[in-house]
Structure 1
Amino acid sequence: MNTASDNNDDFGDLSRTAITRQIITFQNWRLTFPTPHLAVFEKTPKFRTFLPVVRCILIIVAILPPLIFWLVVRGSTNQFLWLALAAIAAENFIVALVLYFAVIHPVAAFRPPTFDKLAGKFWRDGKRDPIIGDGSPLANIAAVQIVARKAMGKGLFLMYEVNLVLRQPAGRRTCAICHSDEETIRQDAQNLADFLQSPLLDHTT
């Protein structure tokens, strides 16, 4: 087992800041091993339910006010009523769009890497990574890193991020997973480091 304390000195110049700005208050991905040679992150059952429910809520928030506005004011000659309800409908629609693209879309669009020892590569399914492209050799992973950052939801809490530290480009990092469940993300980080036979760097403090 590779521990953080044994390897931190070799990565003294490595950035300890978070890469992503995702905000999610529960475990959304879990590391699985379908075969001894394959490591895959899968959506948790809660996350599978969360995404469609939130999308439906935001669609309702975006569509319902304009619909109510149309039902109330159709045929009305009261210009003040038209303006007031139109402003409320537009505000709700804009808020729904901002929430989706600022909070939900980054979480929904994110794809963790898949690691295949037989192919000797790792990649992101359905998404071309700007750093690793369509795939990168497993040997290019120098270490697995955990970092933490403060986030604001119903209150202030910590978000944890597992990053892959690459040899080339030297010192560059790409995010593997990100959520706020410290216990499970530490387990996944350690299991991934063991699978890759890479050092685990704890940069949460």
Structure 2
Amino acid sequence: MLMAEAGLTNVFADRQGSWVCVKVSHIISAAPDVVVVVDAAWDSAIDKIKYMYNDAEFCRLDVLRAARFVSIPFSATTLSPRNGPAAYDLAIAALHVRTGSHTVTQQSGVGSFSPYFLQAETGCTRCPLRPEYAVYTDAGDSLQYKICTTTRTATTTSITTTTTVTTTGRPDAHEDNVSKATFAGLGLWGLIAFGVLQI
């Protein structure tokens, strides 16, 4: 309902029920323009996003490469007076991540993630985000996130050779308080919608 009101087309609208499970291969073949991640206090939206960036199949999607994610609070997905402002903000956020447009929102809690936040969070995944592929970047925003600055070196020595392996990774998010989304970041894995933006 909210996606339709926002001008989005749910690529799985033909499935029975409000929330359904689909195979990753179906998501890949649908090639969504925008991923809507529902936020709830019991399951982190950023963990779901990191899961996608750590999956070889999801890594093939342009939607991941361009960081076209929109978050919506779980409370805004249930029938309530918040639905009107949430649908409006869903449309604005989807346009923002797809085209880079900027419009004032109704402050419903629906929004997008900073590409620099996503770069910091996905830095140690299979296909880390490169913010230059997102159309909505703001270079000044990059200053508030630590991006893969931790270096760990392991040295192995044998009788005839010395091998040094250096890996680069981001510090633990809980230690450096990196876990900041532009608008909240908690949700359910099962509560992700994949849509096509009709422009």
Band the TM-score falls in, shorter-chain normalisation: under 0.3
TM-score, scaled relative to structure 2: 0.26
Rg comparison, structure with higher value: 1
Answer 1 or 2: which has greater strand percent.
Answer: 1
